[in-house]
Structure 1
Amino acid sequence: MRDSHYTIRTATTADLDGARAVMLDTVYRDFGTGYVPRWHGDIIDLGGAYVTPARHTLLVAVDGRDGEVVATGALDSRGPAHPPNPAHVAEKYPSGLTAQLRRVYVRPEHRRRGLARRLVDELLAFAAADGGYRAVYLHTDPAVSGAEPFWRSLAKIVHDEREDAGGGQGIVHFDVPMP
């Protein structure tokens, strides 16, 4: 179901607190980890991570009924680092040439309305318009309800750490087709 009362747009400075709240609520509620600086430092400095740098962006979905930020999606030019990611994944997706999708989160009460897909479509359009990206990458934690099936519907798995000896971090790595 797609609701027309949502607006997807590039985040402004006025949106950053709302976007941060969506992200922090997600890492506490859905990930169960809470805020971990080495994994979530970008959430605290959204401007420095996504707004200011060229070739990066932060999108928000805003509910037109009350102006609340209800979903987020970000993209940056940093490929996956090794460690903690497998070396072959980091080599395949080098920084500068890889658009990495990040922080595609939707508040639970606004899910199943097409917001995540709309955010991803806009992020992919941003990556294509940049002209310098040769691949789009993301990783997800399959323990988060709905995350793995959503990404499987849009992307191709390039590595599933659950199949590694010892299970790795349990993360699933995806290649997203460029538009």
Structure 2
Amino acid sequence: MIEWSSANAYDVQVREYCIRPAGPEDLDGARAVMLDTVYRDFGTGYVPRWHADIIDPAAAYLTPARHTLLVALDGADGKVVATAALDSRGPAHPPNPREVAERFPSGATAQLRRVYVSPGHRRRGLARRLVTGLLAFAVADGGYRSVYLHTDPAVEGAEGFWRSLGQVVRDEREDPDGGQGTVHFEVPFHTFAATAPPPTS
């Protein structure tokens, strides 16, 4: 169910969850989910050159007009339990393969980032709903030609989830040297029926 609020933002009720565009009051909770994911699931911890947007999500996603950060709130306590972001930066080369960077140029590419769900709230459809909201935002923007993301297949469930939604455009595990082991995806705009209004702040 989609409901318009007085702020002209949309709230999607997913069981006991509310998915909405993040506001300043949500950033501490969003940051906590993101940091927990990079430490617990990725095992990398915070790496400045990769994770600057986690430390300052307002500058990365709230301020730029063509970017967005969605959060899922637990209806029981209002705590942020999942995140999903979109920005207009295509994959850079290096570290990504040159052909991937050329296929998904900045400005014309909506890159999906930080689609993270806290462990106790997984397998409840939150990631899929969040991606639906990001795609609606990208469609409404009107300037994006493609939707791109990459994932680490070592993270449990990540590769299977993205394969269910998108098309693999490069699997670095198939490179002679194994590359970085990263899998690159394109998610078609028509993956979901874009019937939801785009999130607005």
TM-score band, normalised by shorter chain: over 0.9
1:29 aligns with 2:33: no
Give, as a single letter, the amino acid of the residue that structure 2 aligns with 1:69.
V
Which has a greater percent of helix? 1
Q: Distance in 1 between matches of 2:119 and 2:14?
A: 15
1:53 aligns with 2:56: no
Partner of 2:169: 158
The root-mean-square deviation of aligned C-alpha atoms, in Å, is 0.9
Runs of 4+ in 1 over 3 A off after TM superposition: none
Give the TM-score normalised by the residue count of structure 1. Answer: 0.98
Q: Distance in 2 between matches of 1:3 and 1:116?
A: 11
Offset of residue 103 of structure 1: 0.2
1:33 is paired with a residue whose SS is coil
2:31 is paired with a residue whose SS is helix
**Identity between Structure 1 and Structure 2 (%):** 77
Offset of residue 3 of structure 1: 4.8
Q: Distance in 2 between matches of 1:123 and 1:110?
A: 19
Partner of 2:140: 129
1:40 is paired with a residue whose SS is helix
Q: Deviations over 1:115-154 (max 9, x none)?
A: 0000000000000000000000000000000000000000
Offset of residue 166 of structure 1: 1.3
Selected match of 1:75 from 75, 82, 86: 86
Q: Distance in 2 between matches of 1:3 and 1:55?
A: 25
Q: Distance in 2 between matches of 1:105 and 1:83?
A: 25
Give the TM-score normalised by the residue count of structure 2. Answer: 0.87
Q: What are the ranges of 5 or more consecutive residues in structure 1 without an aligned counterpart?
A: none
1:38 is paired with a residue whose SS is helix
Give, as a single letter, the amino acid of the residue that structure 1 aligns with 2:70.
L
Paired residue total: 178
Give, as a single letter, the amino acid of the residue that structure 2 aligns with 1:38.
R
